[in-house]
Amino acid sequence: MGRFDKQPILISGAGRGLGEGIAHRLAAEGATVGIVDINGESALEVAEAILAKGGKAFSYGADCGSRAEFMQVAEDFASHAGPLRAVINNASVLVYEPIEAVTEETLDRMLSAGLKSVFWGVQAFLANRDEDAPGNVLNYSSPVAYRGRPNTGAYTTIKAGIAGLTKVLAGELGPRGIRVNAMAPGSVPTPATEGFVTPEQYEQRAKNIPLRRNGTVEDVASAAAFLLSDEAQFINGAMLAVDGGIIAAG
């Protein structure tokens, strides 16, 4: 028996990177995972890999920044897997650039994927959740929400917004039996960061992290599984730093 046996859990932006890693981890522990990604082919590949290992997964190609698309995906997933037990709001667009270079197009795209999708993900979960069981919402913030890093203005604004929204939702949804928490993964090489952080830069980052290494997808997946599990049943409104001590060290 796994910790998440037969629990339908919807994960946005799970076609690669951290979302993909979490999907594999939860499926290995018995969850039925819904893989949502704007790249439908990537979502399908992740679902097929999980199915090949004996897990349960469904894939959906959708723009999670669109309320209509996210709501439809959640409805479809619930119709196949049953009422949802959790949603993981992982989708985002990563762009690092100086403030004077930020364009309206880039900002709109980042806000849609990274912040609007969190609102729609929560609404989609509430509309399709299992009312007879505890619920979970897991959001993604970042160490940049707590440390001012140059050239991350748009990304930091989004992640700081998610940190605040998580606290609001913890208080708002807690009385309904829904826990809302967030993670702040730090310095984890993924496909999404390849165009912005070089291997040499990651090597330098590791030297400045208290644990003297970068994080892994597995580190983040383990933290996510813990926060969604009954072992964390009295944790609500928390921000879990999965960063090797980046935030703490200042």
What amino acid positions are annotated as catalytic residues?
A: 155
Strand runs labelled E in 66-192:
86-89, 135-140, 178-185
Cα(200)–Cα(202) distance, rounded to whole angstroms? 5
Q: In what order do the strands lie in the sheet with 178-185?
A: 56-61, 32-37, 8-12, 86-89, 135-140, 178-185, 239-242
Cα(32)–Cα(180) distance, rounded to whole angstroms? 20
Cα(224)–Cα(192) distance, rounded to whole angstroms? 19
Q: Are strands 135-140 and 86-89 parallel, antiparallel or unpaired?
A: parallel
Which H/E stretch holds residue 121?
helix 117-128
